[in-house]
Amino acid sequence: MRIALHVWRQVNAGARGGFERYDVPGITEHMSFLEMLDVVNERLVEQGKEPIAFEHDCREGICGSCGMVINGEPHGPVRRVTACQLHMRSFADGDEIWLEPWRARAFPVLKDLVVDRSALDRIIQAGGYISVRAGSAPDANAILIPKRNADMAFDAATCIGCGACVAACPNGSAMLFSAAKIAHLAAIPQGEPERFRRAYQMVAQMDAEGFGSCTNHGACEVACPKEISIDFIATLNRDLVRAELGWGAER
């Protein structure tokens, strides 16, 4: 295969970026998308040019490191996969492919395709946990949880924190990310004591980080490589309203 890449190149956070075009011959359809980028980078290094900076680590679709907008879509054209799980067989010989970093106010670009997603960590720090000291837990089977609830909790907890939902959202909102954690912990009894405080504080942090609001656009769900359902945003909103009304524990 021979493809052409248009890649967003930006030296650092303060610099002005722009697209650069690379002609890429000698690609096979079995390569993963990131392996194709490895090949491009090796060729750049051999020419003494700086390779394209992009985040990646596990290359199995679970660590959430990788992420780039490929032809306008976060993680590219295939549903339910991360960029690292995308293969060149999803593209055709002669394709022109455009690569951009996540675009969102809360995710400043650091270099090329690398953005700063620490805002997501701060949302979790605001309340995305259950407070339990090591050593203080009762026997694991002392708390019975219906399979349905456990499965629902898992479906929400499967979020990998990649930020594709934010990149896909026209408002740059982190509602799906926050909702996934809030719904995970709201689905099980252990999460109950801090439930409303959690929703209130996480949403407040989301606002403080510069993420936009949710207008039920739904692009997040489509972009999510783990198929996190937009229904969880309803759970978040319900818990948020109850928190605002002073239900449950203190804010």
Partner 1 sequence: MELRARIPAGPIQQKWDTHRFEMKLVSPANKRKYDIIVVGSGLAGASASATLGELGYNVTCFCFQDSPRRAHSIAAQGGINAAKNYQNDGDSVYRLFYDTVKGGDFRSREANVYRLAEISTAIIDQCVAQGVPFAREYGGQLANRSFGGAQVSRTFYARGQTGQQLLLGAYQALAREVAEGTVKMYPWTELLDIVVVDGRARGIVVRDLVSGKISSHAAHAVVLATGGYANVFFLSTNAKGCNVTATWRAYKRGAAFANPCFTQIHPTCIPQAGGYQSKLTLMSESLRNDGRIWVPEKPGDNRPAAQIPESERDYYLERIYPSFGNLTPRDVASRRAREMVDSGRGIGQERNGVYLDFRDAIQRLGREAVAERYGNLFDMYRQITGENPYVVPMRIYPAPHYTMGGLWVDYNLMSTVPGLHVIGEANFSDHGANRLGASALMQGLADGYFILPYTIGDYLAQAKFDPVDESHAAFREVELQVEALTKRLLDVNGSSSVDTFHRELGRVMWDRCGMSRNESGLKEALAKIPEIRERFWRDVRVTGTGESLNQELERAGRVADFLEFAELICVDALDRNESCGGHFREEHQTDDGEAKRDDDRFAHVSVWEYTGRGNAPALHKEPLEFEYVQLAQRSYK
How far, in Å, CA of 177 to CA of 151, rounded?
18
Q: Interface mask (CB under 8 A) for partner 1, residues 146-185, using x and -?
A: xx--xx-xx--xx-xx----------------------xx
- Taking the least distance from each CB to partner 1, the nearer of 135 and 170 is 135
Contacting residue, 16, 60, 94, 170, with partner 1 by CB under 8 A: 60
The residues in 82-141 that bind partner 1, with binding defined as CB under 8 A, are 85, 87, 89, 110-111, 114, 116-118, 120-121, 124-126, 128-141
The stretch near partner 1 (CB under 8 A) out of 63-71, 166-174, 212-220, 229-237 is 63-71
Least CB distance from residue 217 to partner 1, whole Å? 26
One of 17, 22, 32, 221 touching partner 1 (CB under 8 A): 32
Contact by Cβ (8 Å): 74, 223: yes
Q: How many CB atoms lie within 10 A of CB 191?
A: 18
Site for partner 1 in 222-251 (CB under 8 A): none
Could you say which of 4, 63, 204, 249 contacts partner 1 (CB under 8 A)? 63
**Does 50 participate in binding partner 1 (rule CB under 8 A)?**
yes
Shortest separation between residue 154's beta carbon and partner 1, angstroms: 4
**Which residue in this structure is represented by tokens 């039920």?**
216
How far is 1 from 28, CA to CA, in rounded Å?
6
Which of the stretches 1-9, 47-55, 98-106, 166-174 binds partner 1 when contact is defined by CB under 8 A?
A: 47-55
Number of shown-chain residues binding partner 1 (CB under 8 A):
79
> Considering only residues 19, 21, 25, 57, which one is a binding residue for partner 1 as defined by CB under 8 A?
57
Sign of CA dihedral 87, 17, 55, 169: negative
Minimum distance, C-beta of residue 120 to partner 1, in the bound complex (Å) = 7
Within residues 132-151, the interface with partner 1 by CB under 8 A covers: 132-141, 143-147, 150-151
CA distance 97 to 71: 6
CA distance linking residue 178 with residue 175, whole number of Å: 5
Are 112 and 100 within 8 A, CB to CB? no
Determine the Cα–Cα distance for residues 198 and 236; give it in Å rounded to an integer. 10
Buried b (16+ CB within 10 A) or exposed e, 83-93: bbbbbbeebee
Q: What is the SS3 assignment for 98?
A: strand
Site for partner 1 in 188-207 (CB under 8 A): 188, 190-191
Distances in Å between the Cα of 96 and the Cα atoms of 5, 10, 21, 35 are 6, 20, 9, 17
